[in-house]
Amino acid sequence: MRVLVTGANGMLGRRVVEAFSAAHEVIATARCSGDGVEALDVTDHAAVGSVLRRVRPDVVVNCAAYTDVDGAESDGDAAYRLNTLAPGHLAWACRDVEAALFHIGTDYVFDGEKGRAYDEWDTPRPLSAYGRSKLGGERAVVESGARFWIGRVQWLYDDRTPNFATRILDLSRRHPMLRVVDDQIGCPTHARHAAEQVQRIVESGRYGLYHMSSRGETSWWGFTRALLDAEGREDYLVEKVTTDAFPRPATRPRNSALRNRALELTIGDDMPSWEAGVEEFTRRRQEMNW
């Protein structure tokens, strides 16, 4: 299979390139070219069409996105350009060259009021500009008539690129204690596990909407505690606080844990637990002496 990946320098994009490279021909693209990566600005409608006509991929995996959740509140145009219009450009171009599109979605399309995990048939109601722009992107893909998958992920982290997990551990080395929010619930998902799930779903050939979260759920506090405990730092103090302690421009859902119901009902849900992700993250950082 020839697979074109957009946003290939991002946290998930790098892992998707890696996952597919073992068994498929991969064309990695990013906003700027360099180091095995071809330039493709996904907001450039003409460029998207011409690159897809030249490359003729079987599958496009769209990992490019505007991911600054708070920034989207003041720069809505940038968020809609990248998260709503660009998936539309990709989907239309995929339809023209008979490629299928795998688009990455988010748990932030939900309002977090359900009280238990959301499945693919729950109705989205985003609370933020970021969530609305990502929901708009899903709709653009569905309405294009292209063959598609949408894979919603949440609370992604990795041992390589900067993210919540790496930042919180860095902070813990510079401060005697941390205060972390305990009233937002979700499921931390290692980017490698999400990327491998993208590949598995693509190879299944079963199109549609999928949740691709690790199993289980916790709060940001619970995730922080697990990261520190895994490093043997059980004595390090992490105080539980509520969301009001850190006012932010964008409203986050209180409980946006995802249930991978479409996977359960089709090819099976083999996503590992979030605790297994933390173990892998810690082992890898120890191996690399980080």
Contact between residue 146 and residue 62 where contact means Cβ atoms under 8 Å apart:
no
| Cβ proximity to ligand NAP, 160 vs 233, nearer residue | 160
Q: Please enumerate in sequence order all residues whose Cβ is within 8 A of that of 51, keeping only pairs 6 or more positions apart, or say none.
A: 4, 29, 38, 40
Distance CA(114)–CA(92), nearest Å, equals 34
Using DSSP bridges, classify how beta strands 189-190 and 156-157 pair: parallel, antiparallel or unpaired: parallel
| # residues near ligand NAP by CB under 6 A | 25
Site stretch for ligand NAP (CB under 6 A), options 90-98, 152-160, 176-184, 244-252:
152-160
**Residue 5 β-bridge partners:** 28, 61
Q: Catalytic annotation on 66?
A: no
Minimum CB distance to ligand NAP smaller for 31 or for 285: 31
Q: Which of residues 92-121 bind ligand NAP (CB under 6 A)?
A: 104, 106-107
**Catalytic hit among 66, 80, 118, 130:** 130
Q: In this complex, which beta carbon is closest to ligand NAP, that of residue 9 or of residue 197?
A: 9
Distance, CA of 14 to chain centre = 12
Choose the stretch contacting ligand NAP; rule: CB under 6 A; options: 63-71, 171-179, 237-245, 255-263: 63-71
Q: Which tokens hold the place of 112?
A: 């977090």
Provide the token pair at 117. Answer: 């995990």
Query: Residues 41 to 60: which contact ligand NAP by CB under 6 A?
Result: 41-43
CB 190 within 8 A of CB 158: yes
Closer CB to ligand NAP, residue 6 or residue 282? 6
The reply to whether 211 sits near ligand NAP by the rule CB under 6 A is no
The verdict on 3 binding ligand NAP (CB under 6 A) reads no
Q: What are the backbone angles phi and psi of residue 6, rounded to the nearest 5°?
A: -100, 155
Amino acid at site 233: R
- 199 scored as a contact of ligand NAP (CB under 6 A): no
Task: State the catalytic residues.
Answer: 130
Q: Which residues lie near ligand NAP (CB under 6 A)?
A: 6-7, 9-13, 30-31, 41-43, 63-65, 67, 82, 104, 106-107, 134, 153-156
